[in-house]
């Protein structure tokens, strides 16, 4: 069985997987994510392919988590489980539910909980020239003014699929796109984009919230409002001294924060580009 270490946010897990389809799945999901050779994994996930009706089995240590026939659904479940498991033991910094992109000059956090439109907006932005860091989670080490993104494939849920028709009319795993009924997972390289695996500066924090048929509503947040919003997006608060409050406050004090309501990704892009110019 193969073993891959996956590290993020001072948390390392092991992932064991069979040859064949599990290897194809793991290579697709984690091609841009490295593991630390210096940290012991605190737990190990194991992906088995039993074929036929039995399909894929995903274990965490000795516990069977999921059985699933569908390659695409298991790929999504595996990615979700890896994110959850990394966050569970993440420490010494803020692990945020946040997308992240950057221009040449500026790194931009896009924090938001599920449904805020992070992934769709990220896909739009990188399709239009922004560098890609993550569509789901970022880590800011304590005391640092830089962050790292979890550079997974971009996950577009079916309600937003119509926004990217030219990109998603591809077959399964052809050209790095994995399609299922409920979502599409797209390798960021598909957008012809630069994947930023290094640390990036934190220059803007923009909290997006998608609402169909609304125009762009951009508002500068006070420091307290930004810190409050950051706390709502924190995924590892239980592992942090004072539940991460002092670090969220530090970040909000040093980085301008904005609320961005939008119903159209092109309008949101224009608003973000204006902020980048400031």
Partner 1 sequence: MKMNLLAKPVQKPDYHLEMMDGEMLLYHLNETTILYLNETASLIWQLCDGRQTIAEIITLLSEAYPEAAEVMAAEVEETVQQFLTAGCILIT
**Interface residues toward partner 1, by CB under 8 A:** 222-225, 227-228, 231, 237-238, 242-243, 245-246, 249, 252-253
Toward partner 1, which CB reaches closer, 197 or 223? 223
For partner 1, the closer of residues 113 and 238 by Cβ is: 238
Residue 230 CB, nearest approach to partner 1 (Å): 10
φ and ψ at residue 255, rounded to 5 degrees = -130, 130
Residue with smaller CB distance to partner 1, 157 or 223 = 223
> Shortest Cβ distance from residue 229 to partner 1 (Å)?
9
143 vs 165, beta carbon nearer partner 1: 143
Strands 257-262 and 204-210: parallel
> CB 231 → partner 1: shortest distance, Å?
5
**Considering beta carbons, is residue 232 or 270 the nearer one to partner 1?**
232
Q: How far is the CB of 222 from partner 1 (least distance, A)?
A: 5
Question: Cβ of residue 43: shortest distance to partner 1, in angstroms?
Answer: 24
């Amino acid at each position: 069985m193969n073993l891959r270490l996956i590290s993020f946010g001072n948390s390392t897990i092991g992932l064991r997987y069979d040859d064949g389809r599990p290897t194809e799945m793991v290579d697709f999901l984690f091609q841009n994510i490295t593991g630390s050779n210096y940290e012991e994994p605190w737990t190990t996930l194991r992906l088995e392919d039993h074929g036929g009706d039995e399909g894929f089995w995903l274990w965490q240590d000795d516990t069977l988590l999921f059985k699933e026939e569908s390659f695409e659904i298991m790929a999504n479940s595996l990615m979700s489980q890896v994110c959850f498991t990394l966050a569970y033991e993440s420490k010494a910094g803020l692990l945020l539910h946040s997308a992240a992109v950057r221009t040449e000059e500026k790194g931009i956090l896009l924090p938001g909980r599920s449904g805020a439109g992070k992934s769709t907006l990220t896909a739009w932005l990188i399709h239009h020239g922004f560098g890609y860091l993550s569509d789901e989670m970022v880590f800011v080490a304590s005391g640092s003014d830089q962050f790292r993104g979890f550079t997974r494939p971009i996950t577009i849920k079916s309600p937003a699929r119509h926004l990217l028709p030219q990109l998603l009319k591809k077959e399964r795993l052809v050209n790095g796109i994995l399609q299922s009924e409920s979502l599409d997972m797209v390798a960021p390289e598909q957008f012809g984009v630069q994947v930023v695996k290094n640390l990036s500066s934190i220059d803007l924090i923009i909290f997006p919230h998608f609402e169909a048929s609304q125009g762009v509503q951009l508002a500068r947040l006070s420091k307290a409002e930004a810190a409050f919003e950051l706390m709502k997006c924190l995924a590892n608060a239980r592992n942090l001294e004072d539940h991460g409050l002092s670090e969220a406050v530090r970040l909000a004090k040093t980085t301008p924060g904005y609320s961005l309501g939008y119903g159209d990704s092109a309008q949101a892009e224009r608003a973000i580009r204006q902020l980048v110019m400031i």
